[in-house]
Amino acid sequence: MRKPKPIKAARIEGALKTCLPSLQRRAVRLCYQYQLPTKLGTLRISPCDGAIRTRFDVVPLAAPCGTSLNPYSGKWNFECLDDDSLVGRAIYWIVVCVKLCKYVDQVIG
State the pLDDT at residue 63.
Answer: 66
CA dist 40 → 1, 28, 58, 109 (Å) = 43, 24, 8, 13
Top pLDDT among 85 and 105 is at 85
pLDDT band at 9 (very low <50, low <70, confident <90, very high): very high
Top pLDDT among 108 and 87 is at 87
Give the model confidence (pLDDT) of 84-100 as tens digits: 999 999 999 888 877 76
Query: What secondary structure letter does DSSP report for 90?
Result: H
Give the model confidence (pLDDT) of 18-61 as tens digits: 999 999 998 777 789 999 988 778 899 999 999 999 998 888 77
Top pLDDT among 9 and 95 is at 9
State the pLDDT at residue 109.
Answer: 47
Radius of gyration of the chain (CA): 14
Calculate ∠ Cα 20-21-24, nearest 5°.
90
